[in-house]
Structure 1
Amino acid sequence: MTEHTQSYYAASANAYTPFPPLEEPISCDVCIIGAGYTGLSSALHLAENGYQVVVLEAAKVGFGASGRNGGQVVNSYSRDVDVIEKSYGKDAARMLGSMMFEGGDIIRERIKRYGIACDYQQGGLFVALNARQFATLEEQKQNWERYGNDQLELLDAGQIRQEIDSDRYVGALLDKRGGHLHPLNLAIGEAQAIVLNGGRIFEQSPVVEIQHGSPAVVKTAQGQVTARYVIVAGNAYLGSKLEPSLSKRSMPCGTQVLTTEPLGAELAASLLASNYCVEDCNYLLDYFRLTADHRLLYGGGVVYGARDPEDIDRLIVPKLLKTFPQLKGVKIDYRWTGNFLLTLSRMPQFGRLENNIYYMQGDSGHGVTCTHLAGRLISEVLRGDAERFDAFARLPHYPFPGGRNMRIPLTAMGAAYYSIRDRLGV
């Protein structure tokens, strides 16, 4: 039996009755592979619209990135709308820009409608470490306002010092349409909402084969699902053998996260006065926030190829202390690695393997919001409206240069180049 990694989230997760493994042949309208946010959002949207849905999860609900991430509700995509316009044209930018705040709205609606207890807090800060980064935030504010986000505020060095008790930052962009939450509890709450709407979820049921056809047949070790439609939503935990064409165009990457011991309400509030979450503007960015029980959760770094590092504390604690030197000597209670799926373009990959087999993957670090949007878009497709899904599906899906053997070192070399630029402020 595959259990959750030993993270803070797993230790503080809401209790739920585990879902059974699939041990028989069944049928449904839509079979979804993966009970992370992409699969859960798809299943919930479809179940609410009357579809019979089955979700197959190899481990447990939220086992992968959906239950391990930094818990930040960050709007837009890993490439912002100005880059999208330059790369793909004005029409693509207009379509994708019209959707880039929708994922966060879906999350808040889910929390409210189903009473999901996941510690949601409003507000997120993008912080600049130099003048060049602050100028980028000024441009980001203008771009986002063009697409309807009117809850943005630029903070200068004095204002950001009032929000974060650190002298590292020259300014910030506050997005009140962002926020933070307990990501595993959100996943658990959405799974329970799927069941309330008539959906079925099976844990400990890894898929071993997808037989393409109409209907399609999805096989596990002890059962199978015959379905009119299949949605492949495994992302970084899908593996390379089930659908090799998907793994050729993406690369799993690991990010490291840790949490301190409880700091107490007073010390925690002194670090982050308004309880906003924070991410910096570096290419390999740091991100941090407070938890509901007053711990500091801090993450950062990327391990290309999703290899678990030997010493997370060695990688992350120096970053934490550079930001908050006043925490020297603080005890670290939890540390873990989670994998996300990177694409060469840093844009999500949506598409069709067959007329009735769909995939959505590769959110490249912006998965919390984009996955929730993806679930709404696939429900639109199956109900006959593919316009918004196809705005993503038309984006080119490039393979990493160098093939499977060279994609990790070449990507790492590129990241090292941009990291040097970050340190130099150019």
Structure 2
Amino acid sequence: MATTPYPQSYYAASANPVPPRPALQGEVETDVCIIGAGYTGLSSALFLLENGFKVSIVEAAKVGFGASGRNGGQIVNSYSRDIDVIERTVGPKEAQLLGKMAFEGGRIIRERVAKYNIQCDLKDGGVFAALTSKQMGHLESQKRLWERFGHTQLELMDQKRIREVVACDSYVGGMLDMSGGHIHPLNLALGEAAAVESLGGIIYEQTPAIRIERGANPVVHTPQGKVRAKFIIVAGNAYLGNLVPELAAKSMPCGTQVITTEPLGEELARTLLPQDYCVEDCNYLLDYYRLTGDKRLIFGGGVVYGARDPANIEAIIRPKMLKAFPQLKDVKIDFAWTGNFLLTLSRLPQVGRIGDNIYYSQGCSGHGVTYTHLAGKVLAEALRGQAERFDAFAGLPHYPFPGGQMLRVPFSALGAWYYSLRDRLGF
């Protein structure tokens, strides 16, 4: 059987050593079968195992193969659409619980890293960088909003202050969130997988789910075996394909591109980001960057709707990097890759249950590092019969993309072009 390796990313090249994990052969029984060994699946598994469930994970490729092992590695709070948007959508009462959860994912990550001694280059501090006075005004409103929900580790920065933490002349100001931060995302996933196995969970790699047999005792079928379970958690996100057609109809895989420089050395790295914070700007199609543990610059940005792999990623992202840091014009790019995330029309995650025993969470819409860790806890609570927080997410309205799957890419690209034009013109 053919195996699927990691993409040729910086993360794969610098991953911590892990044991081989065989594919599923034959039939097994478990309490919960999780489809996908990314953050959602791994977080769910850990919370379930800690509460006495028997858990098996089937992964089509390798742990963290998808967005969990390819993303920018930034711990960013809240959701892709913030709490004020949720309030306007479902009302203040329903939004209250979702607002309280908006800052929990980062705490879960830090708890996991500490409890299981996960080596993933965890650093504190994340910067939202404003390119215009309008964006700065939005950050001022965002600070008030987040503080209303109890999040207080925030500092507004004027132009002088932001240049103390980011050596870029483009920003008029920003906001520092000290509960934000950054990690080596693949090593976080690998550490969480090791924690799952230390608690008795089983992970089968190179084991795609090819069919779900629904019913009172659902079965996940794989190429060379099957898993009989009491519950199934679908956690494939942008790499799920059409395994569950009703989920594919309301979401769209999208690609984002990332490059990594050669090692910059301590002195140059410190001039770029003196406090080693991560940064994202406030544009609709935002750029994001940070330093790695070995003092490279990781820089990402842009969206490819429909998740096509561009022919030359460096040609797309390097000009963005040089616009922020022209002093890197002679620096070599060692790695360039694409990672897919799952977009929903509302930009809010889709959470729910199919029948009585198939649960799912998907559609982080580019904001998944923290949300997926929260989602694992919420899903585990629901399986234990504590569904209040699960129901809060499940109650969010979701809609198919206009024009269906055939037209969702051009319509989304047109919308992104419009908002990007507004960013450039300062509207």
1:62 match:
64
Correspondences of 1:11-410 after superposition (within 5 Å): 11-240=13-242, 242-410=243-411
TM-score, normalising length: structure 1 = 0.99
Alignment partners' CA distance in 2, 1:408 and 1:88: 27
Q: Which amino acid aligns with 1:236?
A: A
Alignment partners' CA distance in 1, 2:268 and 2:246: 50
Alignment partners' CA distance in 1, 2:30 and 2:416: 44
Alignment partners' CA distance in 2, 1:396 and 1:130: 32
Alignment partners' CA distance in 2, 1:208 and 1:160: 50
Paired residue total: 425
Alignment partners' CA distance in 1, 2:94 and 2:127: 27
The secondary structure found in structure 1 opposite 2:146 is helix
Residue 18 of structure 1 deviates from its aligned partner by 1.8
Q: What fraction of aligned residue pairs are identical, expressed as a percent?
A: 65
The secondary structure found in structure 1 opposite 2:196 is helix
User: Which of 4, 7, 12 is the aligned partner of 1:10?
Assistant: 12
Alignment partners' CA distance in 1, 2:202 and 2:310: 36
Q: Which amino acid aligns with 2:27?
A: P
Alignment partners' CA distance in 2, 1:117 and 1:350: 30
Q: Which amino acid aligns with 1:14?
A: N
The secondary structure found in structure 1 opposite 2:101 is coil
TM-score, normalising length: structure 2 = 0.99
Q: Which amino acid aligns with 1:110?
A: R
Residue 300 of structure 1 deviates from its aligned partner by 0.1
Alignment partners' CA distance in 2, 1:167 and 1:10: 33
Alignment partners' CA distance in 2, 1:403 and 1:249: 9
Alignment partners' CA distance in 1, 2:180 and 2:345: 26
Residue 212 of structure 1 deviates from its aligned partner by 0.4
Q: Which amino acid aligns with 1:345?
A: S
Alignment partners' CA distance in 2, 1:101 and 1:393: 19
Residue 156 of structure 1 deviates from its aligned partner by 0.3
Alignment partners' CA distance in 1, 2:398 and 2:131: 32
Alignment partners' CA distance in 2, 1:64 and 1:357: 22
Q: Which amino acid aligns with 1:213?
A: G
Hey, which bits of structure 1, 4+ residues long, moved more than 3 A? Answer: none
> Which shows bigger deviation, 59-68 or 211-220?
211-220
Alignment partners' CA distance in 1, 2:347 and 2:275: 31
Residue 338 of structure 1 deviates from its aligned partner by 0.0
Q: Which amino acid aligns with 1:73?
A: I
- CA deviations on 1:111-168 (whole Å, 9 max, x unpaired) are 0000000000000000000000000000000011111111100000000011111100
The secondary structure found in structure 1 opposite 2:163 is helix
Residue 396 of structure 1 deviates from its aligned partner by 1.1
Q: Which amino acid aligns with 1:329?
A: D
Residue 92 of structure 1 deviates from its aligned partner by 2.3
The secondary structure found in structure 1 opposite 2:307 is coil
Unaligned residue ranges in structure 2 (runs of 5+) = none
Unaligned residue ranges in structure 1 (runs of 5+) = none
Q: Which amino acid aligns with 1:59?
A: A
Alignment partners' CA distance in 2, 1:124 and 1:376: 24
Alignment partners' CA distance in 2, 1:92 and 1:118: 36
